[in-house]
Structure 1
Amino acid sequence: MGADAVGQVALRGRDRELTVLRRALGDARDGRGGGLVVLGGPGSGRSALLAAARAEASGFTVRAARGVESERGLPHCGLLQLLPGQADPPTDPLRLGHTVHAAIAQVPAPLLCLVDDADLLDPESREALAFAARRLSALPVLVLFSATGPIDGLPGLWLDPLDREASARVVADHGVADPAPDLLDLASGNPLALTELAATGHIPPHSRLRASVRARLAGLGPGARDLVLMAALDDWLDVDTMVRAAGRSGVDLRSLEDAREAGFVRLDGDHVVAASPLLQTLLREEAPLADRRAVHALLLSVLDPVRHRLRCTWHRAALAGGAEPELAGELLESAAEFWLAGRPRRARALLRQARPLARGTSVRGIADLVQGSLEMREGTPAVASETLLVAANQLSGSQRDLAVTALMLAGEASCVAGDYVRYYAIADRARRLHRPDDSARIRLVLDHFAGMSDAYRGRHDRAAGPLRRVVGLGEMLDEPATKIWASQAAYTLGDAARAHELAVAAVTGASSRGTAALVPWALVYVALSELLLDRHSSALSNALEGLRMARAIGQPNSAVDHLTILALEAALRGDRDTTRTRLAAASHEVATRGLGRPGAFSTWASACVDLADDRPEDALDRFRLMAAGTGRVHPGVRAMATPHFVEAAARCGQQAKAAAALAPFEDWARSTGSDVRLALSHRCRALLGDADADDHFETAIGLHRSSQTALELAKTELFYAHRLRRNRKARAARELLREALKIFQRYDAPHWAERTTAELRAAGESVGGCGKTAELTPQQLQIARLVAGGATNREIAAQLVISHRTVDHHLRNIFARMGLRSRVELAARFR
């Protein structure tokens, strides 16, 4: 929630709920009234939603009542708030219900009755109001309740936790523009927790949230409280451990059902977990110290010290209370493993415990290595780079392998930040570290620095040797991180197939080892290599999976990487709306976190849309943002975008500028021998309009076909056909354009298809529009499967990061192509 321009409460992340309320108000205005219960726990925003309903109820008479704990035992108190003229209401429940219904019907219509905290109303008032609300279908009256549990016979509107984006907007409304990941994790999407954390950094003792937890906890039996604390104090509490701990302490396991019904715990597979991170934190803080220590000791006594090493370290540290400095190393090792496992919140908690105990330089270096790794994926990459460089300095004397790792991650963070002055400095430092007895892993890192820094500087002949060694070492070493670095090297060499193979191996290895934190990073190179190979369907699927996983494990920077790759995928097809939707979703994080690499992808994607829309001047203006000397840029992304820059410059008549940019790209393509990039190089040379342009176009077409890059083939055919038509070779132009049109339709590239259709007409062929193919495009197939699975249009738009209008457009085409009339028929077809 936040304050809007006129001081009213603005709701964040409640579009679905507001739509339901507006519909209910509209029905009531039209004489089809009823009752509705807004359901949610403490701090979920129930009262705010009732306030929003009041603001939407233009022309309504509004009556309001609120339940109060101290008046719960006083009959009819709630009714007297809502209908103050009711003297001596009947005591018989049926007569009372009819009396309330009649009184409501006499209030000037349309009428909105707001009943907040209905759980706290006296039972007589609550039951009478519910009785009346169930009988309003022919009256212009809406009775809107808020409660923590259902009210018999009335529909409910459950308030789910806010998603991460809406949560960030809530805290931004309260003056925190770039919230720490801890804050969003802790709040768990609870609006009240978000506002309190934004204001003070903690949940204050007098908070309604704390009071609710205290009261609910006090209402549990001793056995249920013990089981709740077990789940609150052990993130990985499995059922087997709980059973053994309960047996040792004499707790009846039937108490687990009481804990579940009270909303404290839930079963997640074979694990028992706290219902939310917020509830887990409040339970830890509200439970008495003696109870917490007893549960820590109990769990430590039943855990296997080898098989459950991380958990034992956690419980032992909690019992030590900071009195055992030798725990620092174990805590840091555990923090690193939790981070790699995709549990950054627990990693940060362990890191905070370990910091005060870290005495030696080496231990502090490991702490900075873990801190920098966390910061790179979820914080500010520039800060991460500084932290990792400090770690490398501290580790260089005692743990060289970790020092080199810290240096490598510092370089990666600098790349993400777009700070290539720092990257080159780190690479120069790495060059001086070489030793004859270096391990294969260290050789890979040092060669990676040497090759990539030369490639970024445009020295491709020098870069090729080190990068090929990196690829070879990456294939040999069985470690996900080294395979990711090797995939990047192969991609830079133009070997997209090898880059893809290495990145997929990294995903598989990280998944099998339980190092989920590396998967979104690896999927970046899976998606990029697939785009280079023109495998748009697979690139879309893998980037969406990378986005989903990055969000799930708390890596917003990785999520932005995938959002901008998704935007580029749409832009290469000329899908303006989808590109803009995805770039808008990434723009805030790009700006506030200083993400240079995603920023460069964003510029490239926007320029591609301009080119598809036949606006080369706008594209050229955008590319100026990627020019050297304009701030933090990404020379790698700038190099990859060269073919589109050349296209824009050539179409604007700036051949000299296009030729100057093309020269280093041609060197890159020749040095790597990549058919994909050689094809683009020849197409660019042809676009400059030289006398041998036809030969370059023909060569490019042959290379596109040999590399099976169909979408780029279609674009080259379109450009070549335009030249042929202008040179009065219409028949040859039409042959190319027919093939190009089919490809654009298959790739769901309507803007390119429209341009091709226009060119066909100009070449003398009668074309009745773009036409429709029988098969679904990759994006339509994804949408169809989601619809078949029961997803709403809103859910589909959120999952694929596209607009509602795009979903509607694709659904209409899906129904038309498949000869269907409804979502039910579509679901049956995919069953």
Structure 2
Amino acid sequence: MLRGRDHQIAVLEELLTRARSGRGGALSFLAEPGMGKTALLECAVRRAGADFRTLGIRGIRQESSLELAGLHRLLGPLADRIECLPACQAEALTRVFDGNGAVDPYTLCTAVHALLTGTSHSGPVLCWLDDVHWLDRASLDAMTFTARRLGDRPVVMLFAAHNEHVTTPERDRLAGIPRLPLPPLDETASTEVLTDRCPIGVTEDLAAGLTELTGGNPLALVEMAAALTPGQLSGDEPPPETLPPESQLRAVYRRRFFRLSPDARRLALLAVADDRLDGRTLTRAALADRLDLRELEAVRAWGLVRVDGESITVPSPVIRSALYADAPLSERNTVHELLARVLDDDRQRARQVWHRAALACEANDGLAAELCEAAAEAGAAGRYTDSSRAWQRAATLTRDRGEQATMLLAAATDAWLAGRSRRSRFLVRQLTPAARQGRLRGRADLLRGEIELRDGRPATGARMLLDAAARLADHDRRSAVVALAYAGEASCLGGDLRRYLAIAERAAVLRRRHEAPDTELLFAHFEGMAATYQGHHHEAAEPLRRTVRLADATDDCASKVWASMAALILGDDRRTHELAGEAVRLGTGPDAAVKPWALAYLAMADLWLGRYPSATAHSLEGLRLARAAGQENHAVDHLATMALLAALQGDKDTARLRLDAVSDAATRRGLARPGAFTSWALACLELIEDRPADAAGRIRLMAGTWHAHPVVHVMATPHFVEAAVRCDERKGALQALEVFDRWATSTRNSVRLALSHRCHALLAGDDAEADEHFREALRLHLRGDSAFETARTELLYGHRLRRGRKPRAAREHLRNALQIFEYYDAEHWTGSARAELRAAGETAPPMAPKDAGELTNQQRQIARLAAEGATNREIAARLVLSHRTVDHHLRNVFVRLGIRSRVELPRFFS
């Protein structure tokens, strides 16, 4: 089974289907070795089956200089058809087979085209060519000539090649043939490849580490899986650091490396040995070692380095590790010595000392001390990758076991801050027995627990954090309280509210009479949230307000997030937004790890304030930062929020796209809060699709499944009531509304109170009562901030008035709803409002053209990206939108701007 190639297989299937109906085409796969080009060609042959006549060859390097050798092998099965061609073409092909005399290139190309298309008269033809970079020039020119002329013939031609041999700055040997990219496999597909080949399974950490090491290269994953030892599979032994010695892929890069000149090899090793190599450093090294910099082009041409401006990098971790392992020790040492000489800038000190340390072959306490000093400087400057590597190398050079453990923990901490969570986990596991007790063990458990909270299984993280709190209580009380706070957050994220309450009780025992503001804030937060989770909203109000007040007395980033959470429960959305915004601004340096978490509450505040485009933008930024920081749980959280936002706005395609990205990870990791958001989003979609019973059932089940989350469950009540009314489940709706009313009343928030009145209006037994509640809801909406919810209330009120045979009164509310929905470019709700208006006896006018300043935020984002030349597919991937949604928004952008195509967009965004 080909993992992670569903899109490519679908494109191949479409091409074959088209050929069966009489129209052919061509595709090329250009990618690095091991990315699955040959596997896709084999897949195409299998799927073509007996319907197709299949021809194919694989390029042979030894024959690449023999003119027409490729055609000689490819066309052999069709030799008996040559006589059916016109004389000049038949003569050209005869010369291919007997090697008798020169052949006119154009005549040869037309002869190959005629032979293949003529063969297709008796049925479709599949012609595949693998490793075309080793085909002779004349053969490849004839085949590509044919491939560009297959539109009306049932012939499919597939080409596979290595990027660097076919496409160079000087020429493109496959120009004009559509290309199907083969990107690296994502983490899910990579794990599936490993699992397919390891019957006993692989741990999540091992799978993630191998995915990172291989860069998602399928062949590298297969070869790694085959070489794993039982100890590595169980986690008792460290994971491999490079491909096994017998690896085919490693042999490919080894051959490329040793084909280079000595100068080119030295230049390649400079990039391999230093993952932050820049043009200035490379130039200085070349001058110092009298290397010919022009040889760098040969290294680039073989795909061993990538040059992008001043940055010189190795294309993937698997190439770096393979080249470093295969390079002679003397050459490696020469490169480290050379880099240690030329890295003399203060910002490069950690790298310079690290390269000196790479030459050490035994313990050296003096060099270890230098590394520690350089690591501390790099960490203080925010260069955590450098500092982590320096700490780790220092640990290998020191003799003292206790100091070694301290250095490894520092390396793990900085790896975490650099966004390398898997590396951090590995380093923590290397701690010596001296670190398995006391304060150092407590700090290690605190780090491991935070990593699990943000990038693992929250239930596991909660246990680690509780252990950390117990070990730190006597040594570092503030850190012990923080560990308990994170343990509570992990329990909440995992849906284990009983554990949260138990942790809150444990925290209360540690509380003292006089606490520092940031510590007292955590205790007040525990008290308020525990009362909230027990449904005691009035008892929760005072400690939650105290939490918010105490936030003014601290600049601690995490404390601001705890306070924003408290403000959200209190219904103070503006204060939630303010506190979360402060946390985002403070999220620099060591606090950068908190920033994705802070953005989640900033997006939630925007959601309740009705600023859906802003909420989506903040979640997009949170998603980007979470993935860069190695915090997949926060990435899932942001995707779930974005799915809910899309569902609330009626964008079904985008909502389902985002939900698909959330569901597996939320289930696998046990993330209750994102799970609750996805249930809410799905319920919104089911309401839109007129399945109220399904929507009501989904929200009802939120209270009794693994994705239980009482706060989200209460927040979703207005949609539950709407669904329950439509499927006549009034009793359940009244019970749920009673809880929502208590929360709304305790918050005194206008939006929540308006939603409460809207729910009561829907449940009202007569029109007079419904009118009273709808009017009060609209009055409260005017005092609040959520324009979109105002429009939803206007629409529901207009619908009720129309159904009550009051079309004139209904039209006013429906017009208001339509105007707001059009502003938000909410296609579904705009359509619903227009349909209601028509039913009420009025036709709404089309949108008038507007200028770029009046576009919605999302329209402006899409239009700006389109103006910069991004395709719809690229825009959809960047903004996590469906293609249909991008198309819809661009059409509306054209209408609002009064233009006809995207080529006119740049003048609005210059």
Report the TM range for the smaller structure's normalisation.
Answer: 0.7 to 0.9
Q: 1:117 aligns with which of 113, 128, 131?
A: 131
Q: Are positions 1:150 and 2:166 aligned together? A: yes
> Greater CA deviation, 781-790 or 241-250?
241-250
> Greater CA deviation, 108-117 or 53-62?
53-62
> Greater CA deviation, 608-617 or 66-75?
66-75
Rounded Cα–Cα distance in structure 1 between residues aligned with 2:570 and 2:859 = 33
Q: 1:331 aligns with which of 408, 430, 433?
A: 408
8 Å CA contact 1:90–1:96 kept in 2: the answer is no
> Superposition pairs for residues 299-338 of structure 1, below 5 Å?
302=343, 303-304=348-349, 305=374, 307-308=377-378, 311=386, 314-315=389-390, 317-318=392-393, 321=396, 324=399, 325=401, 326-338=403-415
Q: Which amino acid counterpart does residue 669 of structure 2 have in structure 1?
A: R
Per the alignment, residue 741 of structure 2 pairs with 666
Q: Are positions 1:744 and 2:735 aligned together? A: no
> Greater CA deviation, 64-73 or 332-341?
64-73
Aligned CA distance change for structure 1 residues 482 and 428 (closer, same or farther; 3 Å): same
Q: Are positions 1:129 and 2:206 aligned together? A: no
How far did 1:529 drift?
0.7
Which secondary structure state, in structure 2, belongs to the residue aligned with residue 63 of structure 1? Answer: strand
8 Å CA contact 1:64–1:114 kept in 2: the answer is yes
How far did 1:256 drift?
5.2
Rounded Cα–Cα distance in structure 2 between residues aligned with 1:14 and 1:661 = 43
Per the alignment, residue 54 of structure 2 pairs with 62
Q: 2:652 aligns with which of 573, 576, 588?
A: 576
Per the alignment, residue 508 of structure 2 pairs with 431
Q: Are positions 1:106 and 2:106 aligned together? A: no
How far did 1:569 drift?
0.8
After superposition, what is the alpha-carbon deviation per residue over 1:164-219, rounded to whole angstroms, capped at 9, x for unaligned? 55545655665769854323322323222233445555533222221122223323
How far did 1:599 drift?
0.8
Rounded Cα–Cα distance in structure 2 between residues aligned with 1:313 and 1:12 = 33
Q: Are positions 1:207 and 2:223 aligned together? A: no
Per the alignment, residue 91 of structure 2 pairs with none
Aligned CA distance change for structure 1 residues 513 and 319 (closer, same or farther; 3 Å): closer
Rounded Cα–Cα distance in structure 2 between residues aligned with 1:731 and 1:103 = 74
> Greater CA deviation, 238-247 or 373-382?
238-247
Q: Which amino acid counterpart does residue 821 of structure 1 have in structure 2?
A: R
Q: Which amino acid counterpart does residue 533 of structure 1 have in structure 2?
A: L
Q: Which amino acid counterpart does residue 419 of structure 2 have in structure 1?
A: G
Which secondary structure state, in structure 1, belongs to the residue aligned with residue 128 of structure 2? Answer: strand
After superposition, what is the alpha-carbon deviation per residue over 1:674-694, rounded to whole angstroms, capped at 9, x for unaligned? 222222223223333177544
Q: Are positions 1:280 and 2:320 aligned together? A: yes
Per the alignment, residue 822 of structure 1 pairs with 901
Which secondary structure state, in structure 1, belongs to the residue aligned with residue 900 of structure 2? Answer: coil
How far did 1:441 drift?
2.4
Per the alignment, residue 42 of structure 2 pairs with 51
8 Å CA contact 2:391–2:407 kept in 1: the answer is no
Task: Provide the identity percentage.
Answer: 47
Aligned CA distance change for structure 1 residues 61 and 313 (closer, same or farther; 3 Å): closer
Per the alignment, residue 381 of structure 1 pairs with 458
> Greater CA deviation, 62-71 or 453-462?
62-71
How far did 1:534 drift?
0.4
Aligned CA distance change for structure 1 residues 429 and 247 (closer, same or farther; 3 Å): farther
How many residues align? The count is 815
Q: Which amino acid counterpart does residue 116 of structure 1 have in structure 2?
A: D
Rounded Cα–Cα distance in structure 2 between residues aligned with 1:404 and 1:281 = 42
Rounded Cα–Cα distance in structure 1 between residues aligned with 2:836 and 2:282 = 71
How far did 1:742 drift?
1.6
> Greater CA deviation, 781-790 or 594-603?
781-790
> Greater CA deviation, 595-604 or 642-651?
642-651
> Superposition pairs for residues 288-687 of structure 1, below 5 Å?
288=328, 302=343, 303-304=348-349, 305=374, 307-308=377-378, 311=386, 314-315=389-390, 317-318=392-393, 321=396, 324=399, 325=401, 326-348=403-425, 350-354=427-431, 358-510=435-587, 512-513=588-589, 515-627=591-703, 629-687=704-762
Which secondary structure state, in structure 2, belongs to the residue aligned with residue 534 of structure 1? Answer: coil
> Greater CA deviation, 593-602 or 431-440?
431-440
Rounded Cα–Cα distance in structure 2 between residues aligned with 1:431 and 1:182 = 39
Rounded Cα–Cα distance in structure 2 between residues aligned with 1:234 and 1:115 = 38
Aligned CA distance change for structure 1 residues 236 and 476 (closer, same or farther; 3 Å): farther
Aligned CA distance change for structure 1 residues 614 and 243 (closer, same or farther; 3 Å): same
How far did 1:621 drift?
1.0
Q: Which amino acid counterpart does residue 44 of structure 1 have in structure 2?
A: M
Q: Which amino acid counterpart does residue 746 of structure 1 have in structure 2?
A: Y
Greater RCO (Cα-Cα under 8 Å, separation 6 or more): 1
Rounded Cα–Cα distance in structure 2 between residues aligned with 1:229 and 1:453 = 57
> Greater CA deviation, 724-733 or 22-31?
22-31
Aligned CA distance change for structure 1 residues 475 and 346 (closer, same or farther; 3 Å): farther
Which secondary structure state, in structure 2, belongs to the residue aligned with residue 565 of structure 1? Answer: helix
How far did 1:419 drift?
1.5
Aligned CA distance change for structure 1 residues 89 and 575 (closer, same or farther; 3 Å): same
Rounded Cα–Cα distance in structure 1 between residues aligned with 2:805 and 2:125 = 74
How far did 1:805 drift?
3.1
Point out where structure 1 has 5 or more consecutive residues left out of the alignment. 4-9
After superposition, what is the alpha-carbon deviation per residue over 1:96-125, rounded to whole angstroms, capped at 9, x for unaligned? 88568646743523544322223345xxx4
Rounded Cα–Cα distance in structure 2 between residues aligned with 1:424 and 1:748 = 43
Per the alignment, residue 159 of structure 1 pairs with 182
Rounded Cα–Cα distance in structure 1 between residues aligned with 2:496 and 2:812 = 47
8 Å CA contact 1:488–1:499 kept in 2: the answer is yes
How far did 1:821 drift?
3.1
Q: Are positions 1:806 and 2:885 aligned together? A: yes
Q: Which amino acid counterpart does residue 212 of structure 2 have in structure 1?
A: D
How far did 1:159 drift?
3.4
> Superposition pairs for residues 212-291 of structure 1, below 5 Å?
212-222=252-262, 224-226=264-266, 228-237=268-277, 259-267=299-307, 271-288=311-328
How far did 1:596 drift?
0.9
> Greater CA deviation, 513-522 or 167-176?
167-176
Q: 2:208 aligns with which of 164, 181, 184?
A: 181
Aligned CA distance change for structure 1 residues 725 and 15 (closer, same or farther; 3 Å): closer
Rounded Cα–Cα distance in structure 1 between residues aligned with 2:126 and 2:302 = 32
How far did 1:33 drift?
7.0
8 Å CA contact 1:757–1:770 kept in 2: the answer is no
How far did 1:820 drift?
3.2
How far did 1:233 drift?
4.5
Per the alignment, residue 357 of structure 2 pairs with none
Which secondary structure state, in structure 2, belongs to the residue aligned with residue 145 of structure 1? Answer: strand
How far did 1:393 drift?
2.4
8 Å CA contact 1:475–1:502 kept in 2: the answer is no
> Greater CA deviation, 616-625 or 319-328?
319-328
Q: Which amino acid counterpart does residue 863 of structure 2 have in structure 1?
A: A
Aligned CA distance change for structure 1 residues 28 and 228 (closer, same or farther; 3 Å): farther
Aligned CA distance change for structure 1 residues 281 and 468 (closer, same or farther; 3 Å): farther
Per the alignment, residue 15 of structure 1 pairs with 7
